[in-house]
Structure 1
Amino acid sequence: MNVQTASSRRSAAVWIGGGLVVLALLTALFAPYLMPSDPLLINLDIRLSPPSAQYPLGTDHLGRCVLSRLIAGTRTSLLYSLLALGAVLLISVPFGTLAGYVGGRTDQAVMRLVDLLLAFPGLVLALAIVGLLGPGLRNLLLAFVLVGWAGHARIIRGIVLQIKEKDFMLAARASGASHLQLILRHLIRNAARPLLVLASLEVGSMILSISGLSFLGLGAQPPTPEWGAMLSDSRAYMQTEPRLMLFPGLAIMAVAAGFNLLGEGLRKD
């Protein structure tokens, strides 16, 4: 009964999280066709207008369509989160696999570099990098990649250490498979599921981090439609027009929760 309950919960998490993720991806993909108006169009004559047929979520302090900016922000947030994750994995997977598979001095050298980077608080180091390079989504992306790859490399190394001692790896090695064959055909293939879980959980974290730093003015710069920047722009109207903060906040929560639920649902007990 407990096993069935746990399985049902994982299945529900996958369906709910997957649904939210697919919805976000489709919104980002078809954003130009879904936006009712130009998200950058300023019209001070209709500033802070309530929801209407033309503007379903109303307008902001510059008269821009809130719904259009939310939809455009989906593309911005997902694009940069996925780019950051891809770059992190592009660095961490080779380093983590090399350290775990080769071992010895190679493992020690890679792990000492990882320990050095992990000795600094990640958010503080990212803030320092963005402070040196200047605010902007590209610099923020670079900061996340430089900071994030080390922790992922350590996790991937642990996954590789577990898999390389499995019976099928020992059998493949005994049959004369080369190191490249062992890594590509057996090691990476069996590490795909935990890597997928890790990636799914990390996207949610990336979205929260990008939105948080954009809220502080270090990420997306005006007039780029981005959820964290929308929250920052709405602070002055929090009491009089709370909807301006409510909608981007709900968008961040829904997409981050979707990726987290998907990752948790895919995780094996």
Structure 2
Amino acid sequence: MTADIEKASELHARAALEHVLGRRLERVTADPLGLPGPDYRLGTPEAAFEVKEFTSQDWVELDRAVRKAPLHKPSPRLRRVWACLVPAFNAVEELDREGRSRQPRVKRLAKDLVGSLEVLERYKVTDYRVGVGAVDVELRAACNRVGWLLRGGECSCMDFEGEPPFAPGVIVLGLEWGHSRSGDPDVFANLVQLWLDRRSANLRASLVREPGAHHGVVVVDESMVGEAQSATEMGLEFLPEVPLQLPEELDVLWVLIGSLWLRFDRRTGRWTNGSTPENRFPAT
């Protein structure tokens, strides 16, 4: 837990858990010394709950950067309007990479691109990908640099009918991302296991000193995890069979996907599931 104000994911988790358990959860205030602790507690029987999100931090950070950056950056060095889309890793791609990956520097992206885009304009190339394998060394280098700066994202000239609404320069339109899915609940369970293995350090630290049962709660970002969309479509038919290897600090893991909940219990070694009302906010 990092703050006293409940985030949307925590409100979602509390609403679902209170519906399933039929009990009100007690919000835990942040430790004054900054020690990790759970988000919620239950008095009888004793239990502690820590909530985490399964999302893409890469997307979160890039989205924040794009929102802060100006949409259009004019440049007297260019003759055309260039439009860019910055690629963000989805949650699974980010998880597969384990560590942090280099992100496009959105704040200064237009400035960094101008020199290379000048070269593209001189060669009458309107999309950098066309020249990535060019014979001409200067053009190939310029196109490869555009691709490197954008981490493989989109960058091409915009065509307008009549007078362009923008001066020549660079427009950062926003983010692009995608994902795939198998529709297999066990594939999703393996993703959850990977998340536990690589991203659960804070969750475990928040529960280790707590008495009673330890419940981890993972709220899945449906737009960032492709398999979650299969869960939404399949509803209660979406039930993994492959067991999880829970870390020793966890007794139970809840996974929330929209109105669907999945629960893995260390004692039984089995998954169960159910659904909650569509409203993801707890009753007052």
TM norm. shorter chain > 0.5: no
Q: Quick check: which one's helix share is greater?
A: 1
Flag the structure with larger Rg.
Answer: 2
TM-score by length of 2: 0.29
